[in-house]
Amino acid sequence: MMFWVTLVLLLQTTFSLGLIFLRTHSAKKTLAKPGQGYESKLLQWLNKPQLAFPFGILKAGAVRSRLISHWGSKLTTYTNFKGTDGFETLRDDPREIKGIIEKLASFDNEDKLEISGDHHNKKTLYGFFHPYCNAFGGGEKVLWKAVETTLDHDLNNVAIVYTGDVEASPKQILDSVMLKFDYKLDTSRIVFIYLKKRWLVDSNTWKHFTLVGQAFGSVVLTIEAILKCPPDIWCDTMGYPFGYPWVAHLLRIPIVTYTHFPVISTDMLDKLQKNLTLKNRLKYYYWKLFMCYYKHVGTYVTIATTNSTWTNNHINKIWTKSNSSIIYPPCSTEKLVDNFTSIDHRSNVGVVLAQFRPEKRHDLIIKSYAEYLKNRNETNTDKLLTLRFIGSTRSQADKAYVLELKQQVIKLDIPIDNIEFIIDCSYTEVKEHLFNSTYGINGMWNEHFGIAVVEYIAAGLIALVHASAGPYLDIVDKDIGYFFVDPSDPDYNKERGEQFPTLDKLFELTETLDTDSKLTKSKLGEKKALDKFSDEKFDVSWTDIVLHGLEKKDQ
């Protein structure tokens, strides 16, 4: 009963407020346009910036957008980093203020100002909604490559990046992008808009009914972004679809989505149906109702893209009108291929490249490794496989998770020299570890794509991956790697157990491979990575599907 009351109240409150607003206002005029005569107010304030900013909460964002798209020269000035109204940076930049005053003063009436504003040197604002843009996982790699491609496509394109990383300055974030991903961005056309309500989409905020709670939180976060700086095009590169109706109704702009995984899938519903206890029956109806609304929000999408075959199949089942396309993530394979002709320099090391999060199943890999050590022939020490875990941590919870893994190693009596943990290292260091190792391991069940797996094969590593989703359907085949399953898998059954070995058996298999077999698999994997998963391939796909797609719809 508590669940239904909570759900009804949340949905009723959200939609009631939305309907009242939409019925009593011209929403687009209110939020996306600064209002008639805004130029005079702005000019007066610019001449005396010590005065209070003359625009309220419903207009301040529209004024910021207009400054970025029409009048501003130093676009990064319009960030709201550490700001109350978001214009402190502009107040401290006399040269930028002088430039705007000169542009505004060069016209002699408001009509001409409005004409100039609509047609003269207008920039297009792409709003990239990615509240965790400073996390530097696979999703963030997609974000920053999409930003780079969008900016390179047209000099009048500007990237508005909506982030909840309120403690990280724009410079710190962009420096990290260069360090982690080695992307060279035109930073003069990137504006960070900081969101204060990110805690509402954190799963830890919603201990119960997490799906509904995060959906509600994403709506609030979306509205916050719109109020602070309405864009011309909404690009959700993280996966918060429940704000789409608000973007569509309030701004009337195109919505582009890049989905890494569905919020809820038919697989989740099917699993519950197989065991319909009273608790599961209630959860089934909860998820079914949630799925209905998830289907609805998809009707607002202009261009839908996904990262893999598995995700695309699910999205096309759910968003039946979206006609979603696959754009494989940018995996920087060009930077990883070294055209090696020998693997003699490589150590007998298995690399696990993944953010330190429980769903990556580091614990399963450690447990399987302990089983491998227990069963192996100890006299064969020259072929002993060792492990190297490499990944980033986003929070204190992630750091605590690393400590738990280290405790697990001790508890299982694994020699300390056999497993190494490397945390938050640079992209250059990651490449060095890949080039000096032989195997790449991925333990996640239903990894929706698996950028790290592509990086493995591009760097010449032999892939040992779970037989599900992206690694199984899109990346690895029998010529370049090996698959495993585990009895702990949610979909494990006798048939899959007979078809695929467990990970500890693959560890044993590594000791039987000769040098020629390793080299053959390495070279075939390298070629596949270049042909299918390069940054250049992402550039072409993003440009053709998204940027050209938007241009066609605008005609």
Domain limit, last residue, from 121, 143, 159: 121
Residue 172 sits in the same domain as residue 313: yes
Find the mean pLDDT for residues 171-194.
93
In a domain, 521, yes or no: yes
Q: Are residues 210 and 230 in the same domain?
A: yes
| Same domain for 355 and 244 | no
Pick 304 or 333 by higher pLDDT.
304
pLDDT of residue 119: 45
Confidence check: pLDDT of 455 > 60: yes
- Size of the chain, expressed as the number of residues it contains: 555
> Are residues 442 and 514 located together in one domain of the fold?
yes
SS3 content of the chain, % helix, strand, coil (to 5): 55, 10, 35
What pLDDT is attached to residue 8? 44
Last residue of a domain, one of 89, 121, 153: 121
User: Which stretch of 87-96, 256-265, 505-514 has the lowest confidence by average pLDDT?
Assistant: 87-96
In a shared domain, residues 113 and 134: no
Query: Rounded to whole angstroms, how far apart are CA atoms 388 and 391?
Result: 10
**Is 1's pLDDT higher than 80?**
no
The four Cα atoms 532, 334, 356, 461 give a dihedral, to 10 degrees, of 80
Is 55 part of any domain?
A: yes
Average pLDDT over residues 60-82: 92
- Is the CB of residue 362 less than 8 Å from the CB of residue 389? yes
294 has a pLDDT exceeding 80? yes
Do 390 and 272 fall within a single domain?
A: no
Residue 20 pLDDT > 60: no
User: What pLDDT does 228 receive?
Assistant: 95
Amino acid at the residue 140: E
d(CA 122, CA 486) in angstroms, rounded, equals 56
pLDDT at position 118 is: 46
SS3 for 462? strand
Residue range 206-237, pLDDT digits in tens: 888 888 889 999 999 999 999 999 999 999 99
pLDDT in tens, 299-312: 999 999 999 999 99
- For residue 95, what pLDDT is reported? 92
Residue linked to tokens 């780079």 = 148
The answer to whether residue 162 sits within a structural domain is yes
Does 481 reside within a domain? yes
Report the distance separating Cα 11 and Cα 4, nearest Å: 11
16 lies in a domain?
Answer: no
Establish if 15 belongs to a structural domain: no
Candidates 9, 191, 233; CA nearest to 86 is: 191
- Same domain? 320 vs 337: no
Distances, alpha carbon 280 to alpha carbons 203, 208, 277, 288, in Å? 21, 15, 5, 12
**With bands split at pLDDT 50, 70 and 90, how would you rate the model's confidence at 75?**
very high
Do 71 and 128 reside in the same domain of the chain?
no
Is the pLDDT at 459 greater than 60, yes or no?
Answer: yes
Domain boundary among 65, 91, 121: 121
Residue with tokens 């940054």: 535
- Specify the CATH number for the domain of residue 289: 3.40.50.2000
Let me know whether 319 and 447 are in one domain.
no
pLDDT for position 16:
46
Angle 397-402-408 from CA coordinates, rounded to 5°: 125
Residues 79 and 108 in one domain: yes
Question: Phi/psi at 389 (nearest 5 deg)?
Answer: -90, 120
Domain interval for residue 399: 333-533
Is there a domain that residue 14 lies in? no
By C-alpha distance, which of 520, 387, 403, 493 is closest to 443? 387
Whole-prediction pTM value? 0.82
For 21-55, how does the pLDDT look when each residue is reduced to its tens digit (9 = 90+)? 554 454 555 678 888 888 889 988 998 888 888 88
Q: How many domains does the chain have?
A: 3
Question: DSSP 3-state assignment of 466?
Answer: strand
Shared domain for 129 and 203, answered yes or no, is yes
Question: Has residue 121 got a pLDDT over 80?
Answer: no
Share of the chain above pLDDT 70, in %: 89
pLDDT for residue 286: 85
Contact of 336 with 451, CB cutoff 8 Å = no
Do 408 and 429 belong together in one domain? yes
Mean of pLDDT over the chain: 88
| Residue 242 belongs to a domain | yes
Q: In 3-state terms, what secondary structure has residue 56?
A: coil
Instruction: Report CA-CA distances (Å) from 152 to 91, 136, 158.
Output: 30, 22, 10
